[in-house]
A and B are shown apart, each in its own frame.
Chain A
């Protein structure tokens, strides 16, 4: 069915000049279900001084990337000069000292008490996790018309 023919825009009234509009303006707001406002407020997520979930995720990604890069860099190409740094880094990661020969990491240039290969492998895992998390965070969310 074709829509009714339009009058010139200047002829369209703004107010209730048409008596039919009076019947429309007489409509009242429907009553809302009892307790709806209270239920809405109760369902709101907490928001305060603690970090929000997205902020927490960003922080986690940054930590993973920094730790992962450091561990991977030190772990995959350690030198004796880095042994002290590795000692400190190892304290951050609760990895027990492992005989690298048992792990098949005999190529790693570990010192006596620094499991450099394990540290490097853990670093790569952390780096990978950080990259995945960062990629997810940087990806734009699907367009949502709800939040103009």
Chain B
């Protein structure tokens, strides 16, 4: 609630041309936007680019933004759409999705059993498995589990009903379990295990 009030104050000031107020919003949400872009794109340079463009687009469209709506959701929607556009462009150009760039994913041993007790699943393996999810499931999984956003906010960001988000999360969890139970030492590229989401 407090964050929402601060956002509203800063948005109103930024709409009046106060760059320092917008800088506070940037400082508050850079890490969140970067995390989303980094996990969606799996490329640190592209993620940085998305952060720049997301805040730039938000700054340009700020006059049209309704301050009573949550700025965080609006910003994350802009960022997720930028990520989707880049993923679609990659698909069109048939580029192979880059792995980690200068921040390679660590390799961890596969679990010996398929029970996947949480204590046995290394955080890095979970991270790699999330990044290997098909795009449609990856975005809600990141927003809900990693960024800890409530289902209502995730639904607003991905522009889908809450029931659909729950379905995607269920399918995402099932896909994650399948990826983590696989014997490979590293997670496959996005969409390669389970194909594209329906």
A interface list, Cβ under 8 A from B: 1, 3-4, 6-7, 9, 12, 14, 18-33, 36-37, 39-41, 43-45, 47-49, 145-148
Task: Scan residues 183-198 of chain B and give those whose CB is less than 8 A from a CB of chain A.
Answer: 194-195, 198
Q: How many residues of B contact A (CB 8 A)?
A: 61
| B121 and A29 contacting across the interface, CB-CB below 8 Å | no
In order of increasing CB-CB distance, the 6 nearest A-B pairs are A24-B145, A23-B118, A32-B34, A145-B81, A37-B30, A4-B174
Contacts of A24 in B (CB 8 A): 126, 130, 141, 145-146, 173, 176
| B123 and A147 contacting across the interface, CB-CB below 8 Å | no
Task: Scan residues 20-71 of chain B and give those whose CB is less than 8 A from a CB of chain A.
Answer: 22-23, 26-27, 30-32, 34-35, 38-39, 44, 48, 51-57, 59-61, 64
Q: DSSP majority for the B interface?
A: helix
| B60 and A147 contacting across the interface, CB-CB below 8 Å | yes
Contacts of B173 in A (CB 8 A): 18, 20-21, 24
Q: Provided the pairs A3-B171, A12-B170 are in contact, do residues A29 and B147 lie with their beta carbons within 8 angstroms?
A: yes
In the complex, number of A-B residue pairs with CB atoms less than 8 Å apart:
130
Q: Provided the pairs A9-B163, A30-B35, A30-B39 are in contact, do residues A47 and B17 lie with their beta carbons within 8 angstroms?
A: yes
Q: Which of A4, A9, A145 contacts B84 (CB 8 A)?
A: A145
| B123 and A27 contacting across the interface, CB-CB below 8 Å | yes
Q: How far is the CB of B7 from chain A (nearest CB, A)?
A: 16
Contacts of B77 in A (CB 8 A): 148
Contacts of B60 in A (CB 8 A): 45, 147
Between-chain CB contacts (< 8 Å), 27 pairs:
A12-B166, A12-B169, A14-B151, A20-B116, A24-B173, A25-B145, A25-B148, A27-B146, A28-B146, A29-B147, A31-B31, A32-B34, A32-B35, A32-B51, A37-B27, A39-B52, A40-B51, A40-B55, A41-B23, A43-B56, A45-B56, A45-B60, A47-B17, A47-B59, A146-B54, A146-B85, A148-B81
Contacts of B78 in A (CB 8 A): 146-148
| B23 and A27 contacting across the interface, CB-CB below 8 Å | no
| A147 and B61 contacting across the interface, CB-CB below 8 Å | yes
Q: How far is the CB of A18 from chain B (nearest CB, A)?
A: 7
Contacts of B121 in A (CB 8 A): 23
Contacts of B169 in A (CB 8 A): 12
User: Does any Cβ of A come within 8 Å of B6's Cβ?
Assistant: no
Q: Which of A27, A47, A145 contacts B127 (CB 8 A)?
A: A27
A19, A28, A39, A145 interface centre (most CB from chain B within 10 Å): A145
| A146 and B82 contacting across the interface, CB-CB below 8 Å | yes
Contacts of B51 in A (CB 8 A): 32, 36, 40
Contacts of A23 in B (CB 8 A): 116, 118, 121, 123, 126
